[in-house]
Amino acid sequence: MQTRVVPRTGEPLPCVGLGTWQAFDVGTSAEERAPRAEVLRVLFEAGGRVIDSSPMYGRAEQVVGDLLRASRHPAPFLATKVWTTGREEGIAQMEESIRRMAAPGRIDLMQVHNMVDVDTHLATLRRWKEDGRIRYVGVTHYARSAFDAMERLIRSELVDFVQLPYSAASRDAEARLLPAAADHRTAVLVMRPFEEGGLLRLVHGKPLPRWASEAGAATWAELFLRWILGHPAVTCPVPATSNPAHARENVRAGEGPPLDPAQRRRLVAELGL
């Protein structure tokens, strides 16, 4: 898999990761966990490392942690979030996330989920980064209405990462947020790259355009991810899946070139997005 650098440090990061929202919120049975273990195997065998979760995602952190501890995978790049109010509550939640997901390791990236009590938690995260408990500080939000606030944080707080929604059908981040991230050396994780499946339903049954295969994309999922990676400010989309076949399609997007500007415009126009 190709890599992109984290702008603040120059660390190379594989350019397609894995989200865990709903996909990893399962119980302890082997039947439930086996497909998730295979998804992780697919990710790592392709050279991927980025796994994103949250305490909001039910049992996902615990499932990821259990599966990683039971495997011999290379060291992952673990990202999770703090999603509560209050300093002490935030600390307790983050310590529990580390216990579930990373023990005996550490979280690479801790993000303030949906910017809940963001000023309080950013102060804690900066101390934790200085102490070596985490490596990077970030913020996330799923709503376009929060883009102005996220932009202000990028410009004033110098966060290491932002996570935001971006896809061929939802391009609002291109106006100001992605340029701000590029200007201020902020890495960008992309959530909901398929619009929670909406983009894939839109093209269900449609053949890939001929130019897509010529560009190296074999599936619609791969094409949509390569469209996202065509924006130079994007570091890594994190599509969520519990399906190993879908995971294989996703990681293939990181093995070939992103769409160029003309191809990106063509895809949007052809699908009427």
In tens, the pLDDT along 149-166 reads 999 999 998 799 999 999
* pLDDT given at position 14: 98
- Mean pLDDT value across residues 1-12: 97
Q: Which residues pair with 191 in a beta bridge?
A: 165
Mean pLDDT for 83-109 is 94
In tens, the pLDDT along 124-152 reads 999 999 999 999 999 999 999 999 999 99
Is 90 exceeded by the pLDDT of residue 103?
Answer: no
Ramachandran angles phi, psi of 13, nearest 5°: -130, 130
- 215 has a pLDDT exceeding 90: no
Tens-place pLDDT, residues 62-94:
999 999 999 988 899 999 999 999 999 999 999
Tokens of 56: 């909001």
Q: Is 109 helix (H, G, I), strand (E, B) or coil?
A: strand
Place of tokens 């000023």: 119
Specify the 3-state DSSP secondary structure of 82.
strand
Euclidean distance between CA atoms 72 and 206, whole angstroms: 39
Residue 220: CB atoms within 10 A of its CB come to 20
Q: What tokens appear for 74 in the block?
A: 């290379």
Quick check: 42 pLDDT over 80?
yes
What region does 196 belong to: left with phi over 0, alpha with psi -120 to 50, or beta?
left
Given phi > 0 = left and psi -120 to 50 = alpha, else beta, which region is 4? beta
- Domains of the chain in start order, with CATH, are 12-197+232-256 (3.20.20.100)
Q: What is the pLDDT of residue 72?
A: 86
For residue 123, count other CB atoms closer than 10 A to its CB: 12
Record the pTM.
Answer: 0.97
State residue 263's pLDDT score: 96
Q: Tens digit of pLDDT for each residue in 189-209?
A: 999 999 999 999 999 999 999
Could you give the 3-state DSSP secondary structure of residue 194? Answer: coil
Residue (of 67, 50, 61, 48) closest to 21 by Cα position: 61
Give the residue from 3, 18, 1 showing the smallest Cα distance to 191.
18
Residue 150, number of CB atoms within 10 A of its CB? 26
